[in-house]
Amino acid sequence: MTTPGGVTNLPVEALTLDKLASRLQDMSPSAMRGRAAERFPSIFDGSSGGHPLTDLTPFGILTRIWAEFNSAVANADPADVQGPEDLPNLLLKFIEDLPVVGELVGLLEAILGTYDGDDPVLLQIQDIFGIFRVLFAGLDFTNPSSMDPAAIWHTVVSTFLLPLNLLLGPNSPLPAANLFGPIQLPQFAGGVPIPFLTTAVPNLLERFTATSVPNNDGWSYDAAADAAKVICDGTAKILYLKSGVIKVEPDQPLNTEIKVKYSGVSSTAGQGIRYVLETFASADGSGPATPVVLGSIPNPSGTISSPVTLGDSEWDIPAGVQSVRPALTNDPLAAGAVYWLNTPVLKIPPVGVLADGLPAAIQARINELNNLLDALLHAPATVLGMLGMDRITGLLDLKTILETIRDILAGIPTVPSLPVLQDIKDWWTSLGQKTQKLMASGQLNGADITGTVPKTVVEGLVDLGDTVTDGLAGIFNGWFGSGGTGTPAQAQQTIEAIRDAVIAGFNVTTFTSSQTNWVRPTGITEAIAVLVGSGQPSSPPSGKIGGNPGLDGSYLVQPLDVATLPAQLDIAVGTNGARSYVRAATGNHTGTVLAQSPSPGSPGGIATAFGFTPTSSQPGQGGKGGNGQDAINTPNTASTPGDPGTSSTLGTGGLGGTTTSGVGNNGQPGGSVSAGAATKCGGGGGGGGAGGTGAVVGVGRAGGNGGAGGFPGGGGGGPGAGSRGSTSNGADGAVGPGGAGCVWIFTR
């Protein structure tokens, strides 16, 4: 019988003679098993039942037994099967003929004590169950209907459970929970599915086939494209994948995707093709659904031959969602066809302790136990902590003995409880009488021996003391004229005066900080001032351009007119880029200027009656800061290193900072020159900091700091500019400070 155009929901080849013959006449076990497996949705593959066509899964065992027995009945001699009463004998023969399951008959006989074969394993099982047969004497296990349940439970409780209570109590070490606590697998509260025994993850979605894709509302299975095809006719389309509602767990992301292409499609603004997961707050998919779009093609048009993948490889489960249902949708597209290609994928990879499979998780726990055992054997304190003294026999007595010895040595009154402790106390008391003159440091107090050992007893000691005292007094009187007493303070005063006094016959007074009302020496015929101003600090960067360097404090040698020179002077030593001055004393640096250092960066010199002579003692200027990288604006510019500072004759200029792939390196400080150097000279300039390079998450990288100018008068190094970033620019480096000034006054 046919219908016009055929049956709409059957594939075209379903009613052919070959198809009908294979379905109605093939009664082989494999055919029977294949038909049974077709009734299992593919979602069962990821359950603890396993795939129905796999032998070593629960569902696979059931389908095989059913198929084998069903085939045996279908292919049996009709004379042997006249009615239902003939099936038990056929079933028993079928079971006994199975290569593995048939052994159950021998096992049953061994349990009941009726086995008469020679299998050593079954004989051992028969002996073990002989104990139970004695315990349950009087019960006929071959006739279950004759057993009294009350008698069975009375035997179980009195013989097994009551004795076990003594071993399985809350304080017993026998139960594993009392040793390790509850053993939990929080991701699988209902048990561990068989696929999680390995790292292979099953696909929970079924392939598109002629039977899985409905043949209505424009949907059909396209064998040539191997896809679920839908014809666009101006109405919205939706197809729920043949998986049903899928239960999900928090913190266990889904990996799902599907490929799609289309042909001859036309759409209007805002329309699209979407892969959607309907989410539910219930585990069984009841209640309202909230759709979540995992991927879409907006405004599709025309034809694409290369498929587009929609989905998410790590879709996090939203809060409150307990189940999902995948669906394929498209808006009311006017024309064309959409092809959803095989095979859609939805996997739930194991996480946590089972991320690498159950064997790895078990091995990890075994490793932990091995490590624990090793720690207990070799470093128990790392596991057990500090044991109380009451847990170690004799430790409290030892503690009491040690505390008594401590009190004896500390002089605390105590009554020894043992003869040996009394001996220790007596010895310590006698020793204290011999050492009572010793100080806490163990040395003898000199005051205690004053007068006991006269200095005249030590040969030559008196003469040595007199000689040293007379020598020191002579040095002082030789420099200052008189008043020497030979004290160490006078000796130090004399040496300092000699150090500062003579350079080419001049007495030199050095000023490294400002001073008011300085009294010049009297009776002098010549006075010369040497002034170095403070080096300038550098300037901050301007945009991506590095900061300009600080100028040097210059250097000036200026003779002073002794005839008009005031008796007291105010000396101002420049700092932070200021000049240095020598003024007539007023106590507040406002008197007449007698000498001043040139402006920062000006060429200094040595004043003579014939003009200024150039000098090589000029301090060095700082180095310019490097530019920050700009990879955003046009033209793009690279970062640059900082310039080195200028060297003076005695002070080396600081090295410039070098660029990196990130933050610029700092400039190095300029070399300083000692204020007590025989030849006076300015310090070197500080090196410039390098510019920043690159950006992190849109934030530019910082430039390097400028180096400090050397003492005296060196200019500070310019800071490096930060690199440009799409979100914010990198920080500029810090400016380099200038070296402080210095003033020397030579008199004779």
Give the single-character DSSP code of 713.
T
124-138, 355-369, 489-503, 679-693: which range is least confident on average? 489-503
In this predicted model, which residue has the larger pLDDT, 31 or 174? 31
Q: Rounded mean pLDDT of 271-275?
A: 95
Alpha-carbon span 401 to 413, nearest angstrom: 15
> Predicted confidence band at 332 (pLDDT cuts at 50, 70, 90)?
very high
- Which tens digit of pLDDT belongs to each residue from 15-50? 666 666 666 777 787 777 777 777 777 666 656 666
Over residues 48-84, the pLDDT tens digits come to 666 777 765 677 777 777 777 778 777 777 777 777 7
Contact 646, 718 (CB under 8 A): no
pLDDT(408) > 90 = no
Lay out the sheet containing 611-613: strands in order across. Answer: 507-511, 742-747, 527-532, 556-560, 605-608, 611-613
pLDDT score recorded for residue 235: 93
Distance of CA 616 to the CA centre of its chain: 56
For the ranges 123-137, 278-292, 670-684, which has the lowest average pLDDT?
Answer: 123-137
- Average confidence (pLDDT) over 343-365: 75
297 pLDDT band, cuts 50/70/90, is very high
pLDDT of residue 182: 40
Q: Edge to edge, what strands does the sheet with 219-222 contain?
A: 219-222, 227-231, 335-347, 254-266, 308-315
Buried/exposed 375-392: b ≥16 CB within 10 Å, e otherwise: eeeeeeeeeeeeeeeeee
> If DSSP states are collapsed to H, E and C, what string results for 442-458?
CCECHHHHCCCCCHHHC
Query: Is the Cβ–Cβ distance between 712 and 673 less than 8 Å?
Result: yes
Residue 187: per-residue pLDDT: 35
Task: Give one word for 251, left, alpha or beta, with left for phi > 0 and alpha for psi -120 to 50.
Answer: left
* Average pLDDT of the residues in 266-294: 92
Burial class of residue 66, CB neighbours in 10 A (0-12, 13-18, 19+): middle
pLDDT at 259 over 50: yes
Question: Who contacts 615 (Cβ-Cβ below 8 Å, separation ≥6)?
Answer: 555, 557, 604, 605, 606
Helix (H, G, I), strand (E, B) or coil at 699: strand
Q: What is the distance between the alpha carbons of residues 689 and 538, in angstroms, rounded to a whole number?
A: 11
Indicate whether 151 pLDDT > 50.
Answer: yes
For position 130, what pLDDT does the model report?
72
Domain boundaries, given as residue ranges, for the chain: 14-101, 194-354, 358-386, 461-500, 502-748
SS (H, E, C) 487-525: CHHHHHHHHHHHHHHCECCEEEEEECCCEEEEECCCCCC
Q: What is the pLDDT of residue 720?
A: 97
pLDDT higher than threshold 60 for residue 244: yes
For 194-354, CATH gives 2.60.120.260
- Asked if pLDDT for residue 657 goes beyond 90, the answer is yes
Residue 413 pLDDT: 83
Highest mean pLDDT among 400-409, 434-443, 665-674: 665-674
User: For the residues 265-290, what does the mean pLDDT come to?
Assistant: 92
Average pLDDT over residues 391-408: 74
More confident residue, 202 or 221: 221
Distance of CA 628 to the CA centre of its chain: 30
Q: Binning pLDDT at 50, 70 and 90, where does residue 344 land?
A: very high
Strongest mean pLDDT among 99-113, 695-709, 710-724: 710-724
Q: Summarize the confidence of residues 277-304 as an average pLDDT.
A: 93
**Total residues belonging to the chain:** 748
What per-residue confidence (pLDDT) applies to 395?
A: 57
Q: List Cβ neighbours of 9 (8 Å cut-off, separation of 6 or more).
A: 214, 215, 216
Res. 709 pLDDT band, cuts 50 70 90: very high
User: Predicted confidence band at 596 (pLDDT cuts at 50, 70, 90)?
Assistant: very high
The pLDDT value given to residue 147: 59
pLDDT tens per residue, range 470-527: 766 666 665 555 667 777 776 665 555 555 555 567 889 999 999 999 999 999 999 9
pLDDT at 327: 93
Is residue 70 within a helix (H) or strand (E), and if so which, with residue range?
helix 58-74
Q: Residue 176: its pLDDT value, please?
A: 44
| pLDDT > 80? residue 649 | yes
**Segment 732-747 mean pLDDT:** 96
Q: Counting Cβ atoms within 10 Å, is residue 23 exposed (0-12), middle (13-18) or buried (19+)?
A: exposed
Q: Which residue has the tokens 């034809």?
A: 303
Rounded CA separation 637/723 (Å): 10
Q: Which has the minimum average pLDDT: 343-347, 368-372, 410-414, 449-453?
A: 449-453
Q: Which of 51-60, 122-131, 212-221 has the lowest mean pLDDT?
A: 51-60
Q: Which among 726, 629, 619 has a CA at the least distance from the CA of 673?
A: 619
Strand bridging mode 556-560 / 605-608? parallel
Contact in structure between 41 and 205 (CB atoms under 8 Å): no
What average pLDDT is seen over the chain? 80
CA distances from 347 to 45, 243, 296, 563 (A): 11, 12, 20, 103
pLDDT at position 367, please?
A: 79
608-634 pLDDT tens trace: 878 888 888 999 999 999 999 998 888
Q: Reply yes or no on whether the pLDDT at 193 is more than 70.
A: no
What is the percent of the chain with per-residue pLDDT over 90, rounded to a whole number? 41
pLDDT at 183: 38
Q: 702 or 26: which carries more pLDDT confidence?
A: 702
* Mean pLDDT of all residues in 549-553: 96
Taking the C-alpha atoms of residue 185 and residue 515, their distance in angstroms, rounded to an integer, is 81
Interval 411-470: pLDDT, tens: 788 888 788 888 888 887 877 766 666 776 667 666 666 555 666 666 666 676 677 677
pLDDT of residue 94: 67
Of the two residues 149 and 210, the one the predictor is more confident about is 210
**3-class secondary structure, 159:** helix
pLDDT score, position 174: 46
